[in-house]
Amino acid sequence: MLEISERTRNLGTENAFVVLKEVNEIIREGHDIINFCIGQPDFDTPDYIKEAAIKAIKDGKTGYTESPGIPGLRKAVAEYLSGTRMITVRPESIVVANGAKPFIEYVILSVTDYGKGHEVLYPNPGFPIYESQIQAHGAVPVSLPLLEKKRYSFDLEYLKSKVNEKTRLLILNSPQNPTGGVLSRESLEAIADIVKEYNNLWVFSDEIYSQMVHDEEFVSIVSIPEMRERTIIVDGVSKTYAMTGWRIGFASNEKLSENLSKWVTNTDSCAGHPNQYAALAALTGPQDESKRMMQSFKRRRDLIVKGLNAIKGITCLKIGGAFYAWPNVTEACKLVGAKNSEDFRKRLLYKAGVAVLSDIHFGHRIPGEGEHIRFSYATSEENIKEGLRRIRDYIEENRKS
């Protein structure tokens, strides 16, 4: 019998796309659904970026590039990171890839060895591809609970208890998917103090939502003293410039850049050539449209948090960044007789016409944390208002005595 590898059979996935398939099937059947599932801006890519790609294609920029990216883009990324992370970044430390996601794999492959028991710490709840890539490449996943009482930061004593000589990588994500939590400078300094005790411990800092901090200034752990050498900064143009489908991400680390580039050569050869020119235009062109998008997300944040907290049985922290709300629906589940958040999610989809994700799509349930669902508020204010109205009405009409 022809067999599929165990590694592939056990490979995790990004459940947002699984649920999206379910949602789209319902929509095709003629049902009216307000969709809060997918984390991508609902804006179009700005015209000046599109025009840069069109010009690149017309100018024949359609072949291979150097694996780490075209020089102009690497220079622009270095300047962007230098200005936003308050450090000096050299173009030579920059590697460009087809999106930010491949760097999860490239970094794990670069700092752990298969089957040697090397451990990778990752946030839970968190982006599900972290855990699936850790397991696929033969490292040991160790989840770090993000706690509501700590505004979705780590318990530092718990983090300290999990780090040991076999720990090779700590994955941070701030602003965070799915909670919207933002790690403060104080938290980052405390995390750094733990990390610095171990010579072989790297930090993967997923900063794809760096320009979506709503109330404060963005802080990267790379700016903390003594963290520069061991931190891999990962960012991209997908969220900030509404360019999810263009697939351009980038990473920076002086020691690791040559190795990351080697992995790009082994997988994709290089990022899409004309798309790199689009990203170059995004970073160096007018920033007005991007800023308007970010302001819109903040208004939507305020709208959805206020609206969720006004619904019986739902509480939601005022999240600090990205475009996600992570409300606690423990009481709402009890009110309507739902077994858990996944049951509640399905009821909202099929009975209320509202599509969300549940906490099981982002990792393992944490004892004592209750039930949560995720909203992506990368949708119009009208959709947010209507979606909240439907949820409120569903709970009121289906409350158990």
- pLDDT value at position 372? 98
- Side-chain-facing half-sphere of 166: CA atoms under 13 Å: 13
pLDDT in tens, the chain (401 residues): 899 998 899 888 777 777 888 888 998 999 999 999 988 899 999 999 999 999 999 999 999 999 999 999 999 999 999 999 999 999 999 999 999 999 999 999 999 999 999 999 999 999 999 999 999 999 999 999 999 999 999 899 999 999 999 999 999 999 999 999 999 999 999 999 999 999 999 999 999 999 999 998 999 999 999 999 999 999 999 999 999 999 999 999 999 999 999 999 999 999 999 999 999 999 999 999 999 999 999 999 999 999 999 999 999 999 899 999 999 999 999 999 999 999 999 999 999 999 999 999 999 999 999 999 999 999 999 999 999 999 999 999 999 76
Predicted pLDDT of residue 13: 79
Supply 110's token pair.
């670069």
What DSSP line would sit under 95-117, residue for residue? Answer: EEESSSTHHHHHHHHHH--TTTT
Q: How far apart are CA 244 and CA 236, in angstroms?
A: 9
Which two three-digit tokens encode residue 386? 């209507």
In the chain, where does the domain assigned CATH 3.90.1150.10 lie? Answer: 6-44+289-397
- Residue 319's pLDDT is 85
Q: For 190-288, where are the E strands, in sequence order?
A: 202-206, 231-236, 249-252
Domain(s) of CATH 3.40.640.10: residues in the chain? 47-284
Burial class (CB within 10 angstroms; exposed 0-12, middle 13-18, buried 19+) of 166: middle
pLDDT digits (tens, 9 = 90+) for 67-85: 999 999 999 999 999 999 9
Q: What CATH code would you report for 6-44+289-397?
A: 3.90.1150.10
Position 64: which residue type?
Y
User: How far is Cα 326 from Cα 336, in angstroms, rounded to an integer?
Assistant: 19
Q: CA-to-CA distance for 5 and 282, rounded, in angstroms? A: 41
CATH architecture for the domain at 47-284 = 3-Layer(aba) Sandwich (3.40)
Specify whether the CB–CB gap between 232 and 94 falls below 8 A.
Answer: no
How many degrees, rounded to 5, is the angle at CA 99 between CA 112 and CA 383? 120
Digit-coded pLDDT (tens) for 310-354: 999 999 999 899 999 999 999 999 999 999 999 999 999 999 999
Mean pLDDT of the chain: 96
Token code pair at residue 250: 């980038």
Helix axis angle, 129-136 to 102-111, nearest 10°: 40
pLDDT tens for 123-169 read 999 999 999 999 999 999 999 999 999 999 989 999 999 999 999 99
This prediction has a pTM of 0.95
